[in-house]
Structure 1
Amino acid sequence: MYVPIAAFDITSMVAVSVRSTIHFVLLILTAVILNACATHPPTPIQVNSQAHQASLQNTQQWTLKGRMAFKSPDDKFSANVNWQQIQDSYHLSLNTMLGINILSMHGDDDSVELDADGEHYQDTDASHLIWRITGWQIPVSQFPFWIKGQAASKDEAIYAKSGVIDQLIPRCENCNGWLISYKDYQKVDDIWLPHNIKLNNPMLGNQILIRVNQWIKQ
C-alpha cells in the first residue's frame, strides 16, 4: 500500500513534538514539586552566651502562646497555654482545644489567685497553691526564667556551640531533680528564644512539654 511520504513525515514530527512537550512539562512539574518539598535550613545561631543571658534578664515583659502537655504518675493532659509576664506580675491560662478554660492564675511575688472548676483560690505561694489544688509539684516561680532559657547564678547551664543554653540544671529551692532541655531557638525581634521546651523530673515522675507558637515581646 502506498503511503505519502509527506503525510508520514508530518505525523512523525507531530508525535515527536507532543512527546517533547510532555517531557518538558513533566520536568517542570518535577522541579516545582521538589522545590515545594524542600525544607529551608534554619537560620544559624551564634551568640555570646553572657550577652545573650543579659538580654534574657532584661526581657521582663512578654507573652507566650503555645501548647503544653503535662504528665505525672496520677494525671496527664494537654492544653493551649497563654502566659503573660509583666515584670514580677504574671497571668497564666490553660484552655482545651475547644476553648474551654481549665485553669486561670494570676499573681506576683507576694500573692496568687487561681480559678478552676468554678472555684476561686488564693495563697501567698504559687507553687503551694498549685500543689494544693492539683497535686502537681511544680516550682511556678521559676517558670518565667526557665521558659526563656535563662539561667540563675547558681544554676548549672550546659551551652550549645551556638552560645544558647541546651540544658539547664536548676539549683534553686524546691528545684531538686528538674532538668530543662531546649530546642528550636528562633529569633524574636532582636533575641533568640526557645520554641521547644522540655521540663523533666524523674524523681517526681513529672514531665512538661511546651511547644511555643508565638513569642510576643512588649
Structure 2
Amino acid sequence: MIRLSLVFFAICFALSACTTAPKGPENAVNLTAQLEKVAEVQQWQMRGKIAFRQGKEAASLNLVWKNDSGDFDFRLTNFLGVSLVNLAVSDQQSILEADGKTYVDAQPEPLIYQITGMVIPVEPLLSWVKGLPIEGDKFTLTEKGLVKTLESYCKACRNWKVTYGNYGSVTMNNQDSVWLPHSITLIQESTSNMPQTQLKIKIYQWTL
C-alpha cells in the first residue's frame, strides 16, 4: 500500500483563499424546494482545495472535480498545478493514476484505499458535497433552513459526520438558482484499526 504521505509528499497547507466566502440567503429558504433542486443537479464541476488528515498524516491540495450523472473525474494538483492524483470513474470501471502508475478496479473505494490508506465514501459523497442528505441520514438545519450537519448511519457509509458552511447561490442550466455549500468538513471517528479521518473541502467555484 502506498501511504498518503508518500503520494502527496506530505504537503501541508491551510485551507485559505483570496476569494470572499458567500454569505448565504438573507431569508429562510423552502427546504423541500431546495432539496428538490439539489437533487436535479447531476452535471457539475467544482474547483477548490481539499485537506486530508488521518492520524499523523496530513495533506492539502488543489481540487478539480467534474461529475456527469455519477461518472466523474477527480483531480488533485499541487500549488504549481502538477497533477498528483487523477481518478476517473464510469459505470464500467475506475481508473486512478498516481506517482506515474495506473490502477484499475470496478469500484473507486478500493483504489483510494490502496493508494492512500483512506476509506472514502465516494457514492454518498456525490450527494453530500452538494448538501443533499441520502436515505437514512439524520440532519440539522441552519436558521435559514439549509442543511447544517448530517450523520450517516448506513453500513456502507461508516458513520461519517458532515458539517456545512458558506452556502452560495449558483445558477442552474435552466437559469434558476440553487444554494450550494462552499465549505464542507467530513469526519469519521477512529476505530480499533484506523485513526480518525478528516476531510475539509473549500469550494471556490461551482459550475452547473
> Match for residue 29 of structure 1?
none
Partner of 1:99, secondary structure, is coil
State how 1:94-173 maps to structure 2 within 5 Å.
Answer: 94-173=76-155
Partner of 2:113, secondary structure, is helix
TM-fit CA distance, 1:74: 4.5
Residues 188, 45 of structure 1: CA spacing in aligned structure 2 closer, same or farther, 3 A cutoff? farther
Counterpart among 169, 194, 198 of residue 187 in structure 1: 169
Residues 181, 41 of structure 1: CA spacing in aligned structure 2 closer, same or farther, 3 A cutoff? closer
Contact residue 141 and residue 147 of structure 2 kept, 8 A: yes
Q: Specify every segment of 5 or more residues in structure 1 that has no aligned partner in the other structure, as ranges.
A: 1-39
Partner of 1:77, secondary structure, is strand
TM-score, length of structure 1 as denominator length:
0.77
Matched length: 178
**CA distance in structure 2 between the partners assigned to 1:206 and 1:42 by the alignment:** 28
**CA distance in structure 1 between the partners assigned to 2:201 and 2:49 by the alignment:** 6
Output one character per residue of 1:86-142: Cα deviation in whole Å (capped at 9) or x when no partner. 112100000000111110001134421000000001001111111112211111122
> Match for residue 8 of structure 2?
none
Output one character per residue of 1:36-80: Cα deviation in whole Å (capped at 9) or x when no partner. xxxx97641421111111111110000000011100015210000
Contact residue 153 and residue 159 of structure 2 kept, 8 A: no
**RMSD of aligned residue pairs (Cα, Å):** 1.6
Higher RCO (CA < 8 A, seq sep 6+):
2
**CA distance in structure 1 between the partners assigned to 2:154 and 2:131 by the alignment:** 15
One-letter amino acid matched to 2:148: D
> Match for residue 51 of structure 2?
69
Which range moved further: 73-82 or 84-93? 73-82
> Match for residue 183 of structure 2?
196
**CA distance in structure 1 between the partners assigned to 2:45 and 2:33 by the alignment:** 22
One-letter amino acid matched to 2:144: S
**CA distance in structure 2 between the partners assigned to 1:107 and 1:175 by the alignment:** 19
Partner of 2:126, secondary structure, is helix
TM-fit CA distance, 1:210: 0.6
**CA distance in structure 2 between the partners assigned to 1:175 and 1:45 by the alignment:** 33
One-letter amino acid matched to 1:107: V
Contact residue 111 and residue 122 of structure 1 kept, 8 A: yes
Residues 81, 45 of structure 1: CA spacing in aligned structure 2 closer, same or farther, 3 A cutoff? farther
Q: After the TM superposition, which parts of structure 1 deviate over 6 Å for at least 4 consecutive aligned residues?
A: none
**CA distance in structure 1 between the partners assigned to 2:165 and 2:24 by the alignment:** 12
**CA distance in structure 2 between the partners assigned to 1:154 and 1:41 by the alignment:** 29
**CA distance in structure 1 between the partners assigned to 2:142 and 2:100 by the alignment:** 44
Contact residue 126 and residue 141 of structure 1 kept, 8 A: no
Percent identical pairs in the alignment equals 29
**CA distance in structure 1 between the partners assigned to 2:79 and 2:62 by the alignment:** 7
Partner of 2:102, secondary structure, is strand
**CA distance in structure 2 between the partners assigned to 1:211 and 1:136 by the alignment:** 19
Mark the structure with the bigger radius of gyration. 1
Partner of 1:171, secondary structure, is coil
TM-fit CA distance, 1:161: 2.4
Partner of 2:95, secondary structure, is strand
